[in-house]
Amino acid sequence: MKSAVGYVRVSSDKQVRGESLEIQRSEIETYCNSKGYKLKEIYDDKGWSGAYEERPGFQKMMQDARFGKFETVVVYDHSRFSRDLTDTMVCVRELQNNGVEFIALRENIETQDKSVQEMVRIILGATYQHERRKTMERTFNGKEKERAPVLYRQTALWVHMEQRKRKI
């Protein structure tokens, strides 16, 4: 029986309180049961961005992989593993070099052809990285729009005060 671990992650408090983690856990458990894998552990990172690999659960999983504690990592989808293309490729390659298979359930790209897997993983990684950057951009732009009226009022007040000083 193959040994497996799961990895789940959510980045926002809203997702932590919601069902997202439980959905990921349930999908991983169902998959492992259907394949006859012994699910040893599910590592998690609640409230951590996938943009950085310095996540406690992620780091523990990678360390355990180095020590050969399991044969397979199962994630709900690639974006839960990482939202940075370079981190995705480096970490998946490290898992593979340690004899650990990487499975992302939603994308289902596990084929015999490793070059096809890598190509699709690059495309997905770039897509998730782009999505993260666009989200950051929209968030920043939204905050700027919220600040705009305040900045305008402050600037208008400053201009008014400067004009009064000149008249005196």
Give the pLDDT score at 79. 86
| Mean pLDDT calculated for residue range 72-100 | 91
What is the C-alpha separation between 83 and 146, in angstroms, rounded? 27
Residue 121 pLDDT class (50, 70, 90 cuts):
low
Instruction: Evaluate if residue 109 carries a pLDDT over 90.
Output: no
Say which residue the tokens 């992650």 belong to.
9
What is the C-alpha separation between 31 and 39, in angstroms, rounded? 10
Give the pLDDT score at 108. 73
As beta bridge partners, residue 103 has 74
Instruction: Evaluate if residue 69 carries a pLDDT over 60.
Output: yes
Task: Say what the pTM is.
Answer: 0.69
Give the pLDDT score at 123. 76
Instruction: Evaluate if residue 141 carries a pLDDT over 80.
Output: no
**Domains detected in the chain:** 3-130 (3.40.50.1390)
Which is more confident, 160 or 141?
141
The answer to whether the CB of 106 falls within 8 A of the CB of 128 is no
pLDDT tens-place string over residues 1-44: 999 999 999 987 655 555 588 999 999 999 999 999 999 999 99
Instruction: Evaluate if residue 149 carries a pLDDT over 70.
Output: no
Taking the CA atoms of 21, 23, 28 and 30 in sequence, report the sign of the dihedral they define.
positive
